[in-house]
Structure 1
Amino acid sequence: MSSVVSTEAVPTRAADDLSPIYRKIAFRLIPILMLLWVMAWIDRVNVSFAKLQMIDELRFSDAVYGLGAGIFFIGYLLFEVPSNLLLQKIGARRTIARIAIGWGVTCALMALVTTPFTFYALRFLLGAFEAGYFPGVILYLTLWFPSDRRAKVFGIFMSSVALSGVFGGPLAGIIMSALHAHQGLSGWQWLFVLEGLPTVLIGIFCLFYLTNRLEDAHWLSSEERAAIAADLERDHARLGDRESHFRAVIRDRRLWTFTAIYFCVIVANATVAFWGPTIISGAGVTDLPTIGWIVSGASLLGSATMILNGFIADRTGRPLILSVLSLLVASVALAAMAASLHSSAAVTIIAFAFALAGAYGTIPVFWQMPNRLFVGTAAAGGIAVINSFGNLGGFLAPYGLGLVASETGDIAGGLFVVSLVVVVAVLGIIIARRFFAPGTV
């Protein structure tokens, strides 16, 4: 999917001269990609709100819920690498549309769950359909933005994760309260239907809206396309030789180091995403709309942190330091949340907000590091490997906490363990520093 726009006889333009063109590209691509990522996370984690009603109605245990929430990531593991490699062949437009339509339909079908088996099966299918979207977008954006502009773009795009909580939390609370027992459906069933079907419509829209490659971007002038192509070539030359073959990158220890780090990061992310409403409820807040608004406020802090980290990373060129600081905040906050869970609702809620901000704020700056090591097919497959195997942490955290809750009636001990896992991620990032030239991360 490399660009073939001619750069002959195109005068060199200063970076500032290119900023208006990059803003034009960003305004064209980023809003629709963000909207879909918001919907992806809403459709992925709305089960954490549905849990507050459905496990009692369906008589599911916390362990059943934890396994169902986490099995989503098994689908991710199995289908993410093939999806990202397919994107290389058929383009982002059809790949993203296929993914969105598939996960939207599956989310709506969650309203039909009656047994643990159907719960597991549909959660697995949701992960299988969504697999490839996040790493696909990361790869897609590298075709449009040079490395010195990506952290900001990644940060804005990835802030969708937190924005999904800003909007998704209150929306879930309102739907589940207002529509409970309407037309014979429970509130949690309406939640899945009303949050799944819009994704299908957005996916269909993508078939007509997205552009696969720079050379096909007729919403840019020929001069603008040539200028961006020249700037991307400049960036490739500046970064020098990087691994570009997928078979080679699979044997590269750097890939597996970053995969292990990302696994630990996702353990923290999945903990706050899938157990946040339960933690807040356990702290003494029982009103569903109130829980939704608390999650919304915490997510707003997380969104601001992701965008701010992206801007600082681009300005300073130091994603490693920002990753370490964000993870340390998350680790301390998780431990504080565990310690205060049954003694102070205020401390628990504040700690939850900082845990979410630290865990989410790591993501956009983390991806700057592996993206500086791999290009081409290696980047497509490598990003997918890191994301898919790393997302096994998304399976372990919900399932592990569910088992702890079922056995002990409390998840405080599990939260302390997650805090220690985040410390392991910090140590891994410090070790990974040796993969880069001094002063580059």
Structure 2
Amino acid sequence: MENNQMIDSRALDKKVALRSMPLIILCAIFANLDRMNVGFAKLQMTSDLGFSETMFGFGAGLFFIAYAAFGLPSNIALDKFGAKRWICTIMIIWGALTAIMYMVQTPEQFYAVRFLLGAAEAGFFPGIVLYISRWFPKRRRATMTAWYTIAIPIAGIIGGPISGLIIDSMDMTNGLRGWQWMFILEGVPVIFLALIVLKYLPNTVQDSHWLTPAEKQYILSELQSEEKAKVESITSFSAIFFNKYIWILVLIYFSLRLSLNTLQLWTPTFIHGAGISSNFSVGLLSALPYIVGVAFMFYIGKSSDTKGERRWHLFIPMMLTAIGLCLAGAMSTNVVFVVIGLMLAGMGSTAALPLYWQFPQSFLSTATLAAGLGIISSFGSVASFGAPYMIGWMRDHIADPGMALYVISFVIVLGSLTIFTIPAKSVNQRDAKKTADEAVSGAESKA
């Protein structure tokens, strides 16, 4: 039998990535598309149904209240029933709910469907982060998470133009408005994609018939070695709630979600408000923040893995996001500066997300990882309700359209600074290795 010394780790990483990541990325693209398409629907929907900016913001934000409430139980269910079965289930539900959005006529219906959609999607993102942590070692995790989160910018790149095109070209086809067709055409394919997940997504390392016994052992032994080397590891469910670093991570995630959901839900409105009237043109311009975000995300992810450094690689993108949102708010009637500001914010938030998810895994043991990720995702996602509701309320009641973006930017800056309260030795590979080496040297000298 092959032994670990005969395994080419780079070839094995590539083999696992090619088998699992393309399908994961495709699912995540639809998840983000179904999350952000309500921002494009708003261009017609609010006037058709008589919704105020506050009503829209409240309804859009209710998605994330449900997301917060159901994140933990959904992640635990994924851990219990297996990745492929649980992801298939929630995809069927959220695909159906997205399509049903075309039937909405009242604020109450809008609120109900958005809430249910949030409950359905709650376990997807943290669940996939958990899935990646059980297939890839720490040295590859930031890059793989970056590949996963590339779905966010890809959804923005293709989703903006496609959504705008559907709204313009399908308007009044068979008596339905363009926004109604958009929900149908972007929701139904998810149901069919869920069945592909059930058939083809690899479940666990142990169950994978396409890995040799030696390859399985190599992956599992590397993951087990990393588990033993963690500087501070939370090993019980109750300890998650009493660990200060978990709550620091919740605060950081809170500020990060503010930026992500501001971009996803309000970018079309900001561009439209700057003077662009064509829905298709709004869609094209909405793609620019995500295009530049893709390149910056991979640069930051690779740099972080290569240098073994996490904190500065997260701090810089988050600060870039705050600067971009401030610029878009200050120059809200100038389309060039609005787009530049949104591009800076898109670069920062897109790059920050995969880097952020490397932090919780430095504190949580294998036994508590599913629950810990669910808790962080749930509490942090409360910000995702606050951002759309606050922006909608301020647009209805305050003359300065940029005020909400200033407030959000301030919170992001606070979250960025909080990063440095986390010890470098806990999250930076280079510092963790140095600490481990010092411990070995100390033990040897005593001996």
Q: Which residue of 1 aligns with 2:372?
A: 382
Q: 1:302 to 1:437 in 2, by over 3 A?
A: closer
3-state SS in 2 of match to 1:375: coil
Deviations 1:273-317 (A, max 9, x none): 111000001111111111111111221111222222221111111
**Equivalent residue, structure 1, for 2:353:** 363
* SS of residue matched to 2:171: coil
Q: Which residue of 2 aligns with 1:420?
A: 410
Distance 1:358 1:407 in 2: 29
Q: How does 1:174-185 map to 2 (within 5 A)?
A: 174-185=165-176
Q: Match for residue 248 of structure 1?
A: 239
| Distance in 2 (alpha carbons) for counterparts of 1:204 and 1:254 | 39
> Per the alignment, in what secondary structure is the counterpart of residue 4 of structure 2?
coil
- Which region of structure 1 is more displaced relative to structure 2, 260-269 or 222-231? 222-231
Mapped pair 1:133 → 2:140? no
Q: Match of 1:421, as an amino acid? A: V
Report the CA distance shift for 1:247/1:211 in structure 2 as closer, same or farther (over 3 A). same
Name which of 54, 60, 73 aligns with 2:64. Answer: 73
Aligned partner of 1:430 among 420, 427, 435? 420
How far did 1:241 drift? 6.0
Counterpart of 1:12 in structure 2 is 4
Q: Deviations over 1:61-87 (max 9, x none)?
A: 000000011000011111110011111
CA contact (8 A) 2:154 2:290 kept: yes
One of 14, 27, 30 as aligned partner of 1:23: 14
Which sits farther off after the overlay, 368-377 or 222-231?
Answer: 222-231
Contact kept in structure 2, 1:309 and 1:364, CA below 8 Å = no
Q: Which amino acid in the other structure matches residue 148 of structure 2?
A: F
Is the contact made by 1:246 and 1:381 (CA closer than 8 Å) also made in structure 2? yes
Q: Give the TM-score of the pair, scaled to structure 2.
A: 0.93
* Structure 1, gaps ≥5 residues long: 1-8
Equivalent pairs counted in the alignment come to 431
> Are residues 1:316 and 2:290 paired?
no
Matches within 5 A, 1:344-363: 344-363=334-353
Give the stretch that moved more between structures: 31-40 or 306-315: 306-315
SS of 1:216 mapped into structure 2: coil
Q: Which runs of 5+ in 2 are unaligned?
A: 433-447
- Determine the structure 2 residue equivalent to 1:3: none
Give the C-alpha shift of residue 10 in structure 1.
5.7
Distance 1:437 1:173, change over 3 A: closer
Q: What amino acid is the match of 1:136?
A: G
Spell out the pairing of 1:283-322 with structure 2 (5 A cutoff): 283-322=274-313
Write the distance in 2 (CA, Å) between the matches of 1:322 and 1:232: 24
Q: What letter corresponds to residue 157 of structure 1 in structure 2?
A: Y
Distance 2:351 2:307 in 1: 16
Percent of aligned positions with the same letter in both sequences?
A: 34
- Separation (CA, whole Å) in 2 of partners of 1:247 and 1:93: 28
Deviates more, 1:301-310 or 1:187-196: 301-310
The answer as to whether partners of 1:302 and 1:358 remain within 8 angstroms in 2 is: yes
Structure-1 residue corresponding to 2:250:
259
For residues 37 and 427 of structure 2, the distance between their equivalents in structure 1, rounded to whole angstroms, comes to 42
SS of residue matched to 1:385: helix
Which of 382, 390, 403 matches 1:392? 382
Q: Is the 8 A contact 2:424 2:431 kept in 1?
A: no
- With normalisation by structure 1, the TM-score equals 0.94
Tell me, what secondary structure is at the counterpart of 2:202? Answer: coil
Whole-Å separation in 2 of the counterparts to 1:45 and 1:410? 25
Q: Which moved more, 1:243-252 or 1:275-284?
A: 243-252
CA contact (8 A) 1:176 1:186 kept: yes
Match of 1:237 in 2: 228
1:223 and 2:211 matched: no
Q: Which digits, 9 at most, give the CA deviation of each residue in 1:88-111, with x for residues without a partner?
A: 211101111011111100000000
Query: Following the alignment from structure 2 to structure 1, what is the Cα–Cα distance between the partners of residues 167 and 399?
Result: 25
Select which of 151, 162, 165 maps to 2:156. Answer: 165
Question: 1: distance between equivalents of 2:300 and 2:282?
Answer: 27
> Deviations along 1:320-366, whole A, 9 cap, x unmatched?
10111001111111111111112x21111111111111112111111
In structure 2, distance between residues paired with 1:230 and 1:408: 58
Q: Contact 2:253 / 2:380 at 8 angstroms: preserved in 1?
A: yes
Q: Which residue of 1 aligns with 2:77?
A: 86
2:52 maps to what in 1? 61
Range moving further from structure 2, 268-277 or 301-310:
301-310
Give SS of 1:217's match: coil
Cα distance in 2 between the residues matched to 1:230 and 1:413: 52
Distance, in Å, in 2 between the alignment partners of 1:21 and 1:178 is 46
Question: Which residue matches 1:279?
Answer: 270
Which consecutive segments of 4 or more residues in structure 1 shift more than 6 A? none
Task: Tell me by how many angstroms 1:57 deviates.
Answer: 0.5
Partner Cα separation in structure 2 for residue 221 and residue 305 of structure 1: 36
Tell me the equivalent position of 1:5: none
3-state SS of the aligned residue for 1:183? Answer: coil
SS in 2 for 1:26: helix
Equivalence map 1:87-166=2 (5 Å): 87-166=78-157
**Contact 1:103–1:130 under 8 Å retained in 2:** yes
CA distance in 2, matches of 1:198, 1:206: 13
Q: CA RMSD in A?
A: 1.6
1:376 maps to amino acid: T
Shift of 1:378: 1.6
Larger displacement relative to structure 2 (299-308 or 227-236): 227-236
User: Once the 2 structures are TM-superposed, how far is the Cα of residue 434 of structure 1 from its aligned partner?
Assistant: 6.2
